[in-house]
Amino acid sequence: MSAPMSAPSIVPRCPDRVSRRPHRPCIRVGFSVKGEPDTPSREELGWRCPPGLPPKAWSTRFHVLADMIASTDAFASSSSSSKVVADLGCGHGMLALGLAASGRVSRAIAIDVSPDEIEVANAKAARANEAVAELLGATSPLPVDVRLGDGARALVPEDAADVVCVAGVGGRTMIKMLKAAGLDKPKPTGVRTDGGADGGADGGADACAGVTALVLNPPATDVPSVRAWLIETNAWIVRDERLVVENEQMHAMVAATRRDVSDLLEAPVPAASDAPVRVVEREPAHDADDDARWGGDGSCAGGGGEFAVVADVHVGPVLRVVKPKILGLYLRNRVEYFENRRRGALDELRRCQEAEARSPAVECSLALSSEDEDAASFLVEARARRRRAQAEVTRLSKIVGVMSTVLGEVNMKALEEAGLGGTLDLPQAR
């Protein structure tokens, strides 16, 4: 990752105001980052907006995705002149157009299930082709195929796709698309990529038999489940993970290399230490509004009540090695926030202990079987409150502990030297 262009300022925000553009993959971080601390400049990446198209349509997210695609083993270490990427759920087709215009792929296939999106993608491809012809006098169009279809079903084995990209699609849909394409299995040996049976009937599994890399950009909140799925299939090794902050939103991307079925016999199953660290922060759901505020769908039964997911920090093995600055900022924010809450929980525990000690049942040395029912029930309630407070302190201590460990791996000194320090006005502990 490159040096920042300018130091970011960090502004606290209400969680429900963070997703200004809900259709873009984003993570609710409870604060916004102004500036793009972890994002290479366009010049540094060497990618440009496809010709003939408005530069604004070519986002930094596309830059980084394009860079990740070009950096996969399938392309970066291949001497083959055939480098084919399939973008499933391409929307307006910008990524495929950008890749084709950059010359770093030999062909980009842009597929979307929506006729409206495909119409726009075709119009953009036509404009880019006109601009290429005008600017460069090129007679052959950009090597982009725009296709209407359901994921990899629109591919055929003759396409010989090497890399599949899925961006801006929810985690569940993404996994469904990948499974339908047979991408939940290692690469079969002796795959023919030069033709064969039509891939349409089986969801594109034949057409994807030669795929060796995936580049995925689910909504940041779905990255944990997508990453876990990649690891669980035993078919993929996570090679690259990047975080980008753009328009005050955090985007997360994961690239993986496909294992070959023949290496599986010898290659060990990834060690537990390679597995991602997961911290799921949950807290009791207070009311429907609160649930909605935090996304609602994260609620689950446990510990005697409904819980809403407050945040789901998932630090994958690659991010832990790369230690991007935005991860440091995010973790520092959360460590401080949960440390404040832990202090609040400790105060509550002290109050509960005092109340328990002052209980009339204790003071009068009455047993719970005492005839003084009021005193006995006061003591039962005080004990239950103290146990809940104790459980809360334990829970918050665990979160702070794991987050601090990961934060310790991020070089905060380098971060501050780069002007990325700064203090956060944290939300108040409740």
Ligand X SMILES: C[S@@+](CC[C@H](N)C(=O)[O-])C[C@H]1O[C@@H](n2cnc3c(N)ncnc32)[C@H](O)[C@@H]1O
- How many helices and strands (H and E) does the chain possess? 14, 12
Report in angstroms how near the CB of residue 112 gets to ligand X at its nearest.
4
Distance CA 46, CA 68 (A): 13
Provide, rounded to whole angstroms, the least separation between the CB of residue 175 and ligand X: 11
| 143 to 182: interface string for ligand X, x by CB under 6 A | -------xx---------------xxx---x---x-----
Residue 88 vs 415, nearer CB to ligand X:
88
Return the number of the residue (150 or 184) whose C-beta is nearest ligand X. 150
CB of 254 to ligand X, least distance (A): 14
CA 29-33-34 angle, 5° bins: 155
Among 112, 159, 162, 240, binds ligand X (CB under 6 A): 112
> Residue 105 burial by CB count (10 A; 0-12/13-18/19+): exposed, middle or buried?
buried
> Is 322 one of the binding residues for ligand X (CB under 6 A)?
no
Beta carbon nearer to ligand X, 106 or 173: 173
CA distance linking residue 196 with residue 156, whole number of Å: 8
Nearest one of 210, 246, 220 to 32, comparing CA atoms: 246
Q: How far is the CB of 94 from ligand X (least distance, A)?
A: 7
Contact 4, 418 (CB under 8 A): yes
Q: Residue from 85, 86, 99, 111 that binds ligand X (CB under 6 A)?
A: 111
Between 113 and 261, name the residue whose CB sits nearer to ligand X. Answer: 113
Q: Which is nearer to ligand X, 37 or 203 (CB)?
A: 203
Report the nearest approach of ligand X to the CB of residue 177 (Å): 5
The answer to whether the Cα torsion of 120, 123, 129, 132 is positive or negative is negative
DSSP code string of 277-298: EEEEEEEE--SHHHHHHTTSTT
Buried b (16+ CB within 10 A) or exposed e, 134-144: eeeeeeeebbb
Nearer to ligand X, 217 or 359 (CB): 217
The least CB distance from residue 196 to ligand X, in Å, is: 22
Nearer to ligand X, 23 or 413 (CB): 23
CB count within 10 Å of CB 389 equals: 19
d(CA 256, CA 234): 11
Fill in the per-residue mask, 7 to 46: x = in contact with ligand X (CB under 6 A), - = not in contact: ----------------x-----------------------
Residue 282 pairs in a beta bridge with: 309
Nearer Cβ to ligand X (173/404): 173
Name the one range near ligand X by CB under 6 A: 110-118, 202-210, 386-394, 412-420: 110-118
- Got the DSSP string for 39-88? ---HHHHT--PPTTS-GGGS-HHHHHHHHHHHHSHHHHT---S--EEEEE
Question: Is 91 or 316 the residue whose CB approaches ligand X more closely?
Answer: 91
Smallest gap from residue 152 Cβ to ligand X (A): 8
- 74-103 positions binding ligand X, by CB under 6 A: 88-91
Task: Output the smallest distance, CB 383 to ligand X, in A.
Answer: 51
Q: Which residues would be at the binding site for ligand X (CB under 6 A)?
A: 23, 88-91, 111-114, 117, 150-151, 167-169, 173, 177
